[in-house]
């Protein structure tokens, strides 16, 4: 059914708007890389890294569906996401990290938060944490910096962990939601490719993922609090 249904274009790419094209594409179709879900080929991971380091936008598999990801200094890619999803500059994005020590550099982790993250990661859980002074300047000076907190994930997916390792730094990410959508169909690779490949520069296709969303734990108060239970609920 999905292949026969025309997907709605965001307002900024509707007929008559800048960048509109009859095919629904505003750029060349992204490269779809068929990556082994258990033993990802390093040459394909390196291709995706090159795209990200050049400022591109990637579709990546996680343990809670596919996500859009871009580099920490990928300002143009982030602006594309904001236009695509019709988000303002204050909308928070999530940092994908390789390991807890990396998360601890970008966020302030007290002992309870550290112990909690150690028990729940890697896994499909997002942690809202106070930002540290080491948060990159571009992110710190953006509209969302006034909130003084950041969302961090340590995904439990072989392909994305290999990508993060090859990048050598975290990635910014967001879920696959177009305006007015609340429940993304983001775990089936074929559906993701049909709906989202036109907006990205590369896709790491590692077959279907576990569905999302992630659970969200707010660690900015006196005690951690689950503010959203995901597909895989957590208990504190």
What would the pLDDT profile of 91-145 be if each residue is shown by its tens digit?
Answer: 889 999 999 999 999 999 999 999 999 999 999 999 999 999 898 877 876 654 4
**pLDDT at position 14, please?**
43
Residue 3 maps to a domain: no
**pLDDT at position 146, please?**
53
Residue 233 maps to a domain: no
The CATH number for 151's domain is 3.90.870.10
Residue 190 maps to a domain: yes
Position 171 pLDDT exceeds 60: yes
Contact status, residue 37 vs residue 159, Cβ threshold 8 Å: yes
Residue 165 tokens read as 């390792």
Contact status, residue 152 vs residue 126, Cβ threshold 8 Å: yes
**pLDDT at position 148, please?**
86
d(CA 96, CA 98) in angstroms, rounded, equals: 7
Q: How confident is the model at residue 180 (pLDDT cuts 50, 70, 90)?
A: confident
Residue 44 tokens read as 């394909």
Number of domains comprising the chain = 1
Residue 14 maps to a domain: no
Residue 84 maps to a domain: yes
Contact status, residue 231 vs residue 210, Cβ threshold 8 Å: yes
Position 27 pLDDT exceeds 70: no
Contact status, residue 106 vs residue 150, Cβ threshold 8 Å: yes
**pLDDT at position 74, please?**
95
Query: In the chain, what's the furthest Cα-to-Cα distance?
Result: 54
Residue 163 maps to a domain: yes
Position 6 pLDDT exceeds 80: no
Residue 33 maps to a domain: yes
Count of alpha carbons within 13 Å of 142, Cβ hemisphere only?
Answer: 22
Give the domain extent around 95: 27-177+184-228
Residue 20 maps to a domain: no
The average confidence (pLDDT) of the chain is 87
């Amino acid at each position: 059914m999905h292949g026969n249904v025309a997907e709605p274009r965001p307002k900024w790419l509707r007929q008559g708007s800048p960048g509109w094209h009859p095919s629904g594409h505003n750029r060349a179709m992204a490269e779809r890389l068929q990556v082994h879900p258990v033993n990802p080929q390093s040459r394909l991971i390196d291709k995706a890294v090159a795209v990200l380091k050049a400022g591109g936008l990637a579709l990546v598999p996680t343990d809670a569906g596919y996500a859009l990801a871009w580099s920490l200094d990928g300002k143009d890619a982030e602006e594309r996401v904001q236009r695509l999803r019709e988000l303002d500059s204050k909308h928070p994005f999530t940092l994908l990290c390789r390991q807890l020590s990396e998360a601890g550099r970008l966020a302030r982790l007290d002992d309870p938060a550290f112990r909690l993250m150690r028990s729940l990661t890697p896994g499909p859980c997002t942690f809202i944490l106070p930002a540290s002074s080491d948060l990159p300047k571009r992110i710190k000076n953006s509209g969302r910096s006034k909130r003084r907190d950041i969302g961090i994930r340590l995904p439990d997916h072989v392909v994305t962990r290999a990508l993060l390792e090859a990048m050598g730094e975290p990635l910014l990410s967001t879920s696959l939601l177009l305006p007015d959508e609340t429940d993304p169909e983001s775990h089936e690779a074929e559906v993701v490719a049909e709906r989202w490949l036109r907006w990205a520069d590369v896709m790491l296709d590692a077959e279907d993922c576990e569905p999302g969303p992630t659970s969200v734990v707010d660690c900015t108060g006196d005690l951690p609090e689950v503010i959203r239970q995901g597909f895989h609920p957590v208990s504190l």
